């Protein structure tokens, strides 16, 4: 829960996030988020102004008050100008670049976690699922929202890296351009006979396969060994390039979006922004 609060001494407004501590136990996720909110000093990362233990079950984190998030912008009527998309993508990639320089994977990048301040500048927030790659053990395949998770994460890989965040950036980029999700989840039936999270994960995988094709051993050696690779191989969708709407006429932006929305994105990082930002 997030509240708008006022500092009576300065009359400045802040956001107060209340984190519930179950059974008084500070979990690794909570500790990790508190540390990252304090340690990362970058103008595209939402930093904690102060953290305090309210009682044995609640921690209060005070941050800069933001105007809205990208989800609200995308949900509004009317187009977003190319210049605005370009500036927001530049700022987002600047923030991701800082995380990558620190060997940190956010793992939950989505429009709800990309905040915009009163000057229309981007801040990346919500680090509860973030992980450090430095001396890290295998990563869990379950992180943030599955609709923005990279294919290797959805397939159950445990050795994914920074490229996973770049896929999420591509999904957000696509939403800014089209005002809708890059993959049509509405066409996929949720299997009510199995666990909901597993069924949703499979539905998202199928929607991606329909749009971009089914990855095979030929193009991605080892992909069939992933835990969640489809067992039914009777239907293999042909590989195809991500279809960028013709109404989006920024040539560099179109090329970047196509580059982001591919499966085998290992080795790429936030430096890809140079292609988008070049004249």
Catalytic residue ranges: 108
Query: Do the beta carbons of residue 64 and residue 117 sit within 8 Å?
Result: yes
Token pair 């953290």 is found at 51
Strand 48-55 relative to strand 58-64: parallel, antiparallel, unpaired?
antiparallel
List strand residue ranges (DSSP E) for the chain, in order.
2-6, 13-20, 48-55, 58-64, 68-69, 104-105, 114-116, 122-124, 131-132
DSSP secondary structure, 86-136, as one string:
HHHHHHHHHHHHHHHHTTEE----SGGGEEE-TTS-EEE---TT-EE-TT-
Give the tokens for residue 266: 């290992």
Token pair 């994105």 is found at 265
Alpha-carbon Rg for the chain, nearest whole angstrom, is: 20
DSSP state of 239: P
Query: Which helix (DSSP H) or strand (DSSP E) does residue 37 occupy?
Result: helix 28-39
Token pair 């959805």 is found at 154
Edge-to-edge strand ranges of the sheet holding 2-6: 2-6, 13-20, 58-64, 48-55
Name 180's Cβ contacts closer than 8 Å, sequence gap at least 6. none
Query: How far, in Å, are 2, 13, 15, 120, 212 from residue 8 at the CA level?
Result: 19, 9, 14, 26, 54
């Amino acid at each position: 829960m997030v509240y708008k609060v006022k500092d009576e001494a300065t009359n400045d407004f802040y956001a107060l996030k209340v984190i519930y501590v179950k059974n008084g136990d500070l979990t690794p996720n909570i500790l990790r988020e508190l540390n990252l909110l304090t340690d990362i000093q970058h103008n595209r990362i939402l930093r904690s102004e102060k953290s305090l233990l309210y009682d044995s079950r609640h921690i209060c984190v005070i941050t800069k008050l933001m105007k809205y998030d990208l989800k609200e912008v995308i949900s509004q009527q009317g187009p977003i100008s190319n210049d605005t998309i370009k500036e927001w993508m530049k700022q987002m990639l600047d923030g991701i670049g800082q995380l990558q320089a620190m060997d940190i994977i956010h793992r939950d990048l989505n429009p709800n976690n990309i905040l915009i301040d009163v000057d229309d500048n981007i801040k990346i927030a919500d680090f509860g699922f973030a992980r450090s790659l430095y001396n890290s053990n295998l990563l869990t395949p379950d992180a943030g929202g599955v609709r923005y998770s990279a294919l290797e994460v959805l397939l159950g890989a445990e050795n994914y890296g920074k490229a996973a965040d770049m896929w999420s950036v591509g999904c957000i980029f696509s939403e800014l351009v089209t005002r809708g999700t890059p993959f049509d989840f509405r066409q996929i039936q949720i299997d009510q006979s199995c666990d909901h999270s597993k069924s949703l994960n499979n539905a998202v995988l199928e929607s991606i396969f329909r749009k971009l094709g089914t990855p095979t051993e030929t193009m991605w050696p080892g992909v069939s060994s992933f835990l969640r690779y489809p067992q039914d191989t009777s239907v293999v969708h042909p590989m195809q390039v991500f279809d960028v709407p013709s109404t989006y006429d920024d040539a560099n932006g179109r090329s970047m979006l196509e580059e982001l929305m591919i499966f085998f994105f290992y080795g790429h990082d936030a430096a890809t922004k140079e292609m988008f930002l070049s004249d």
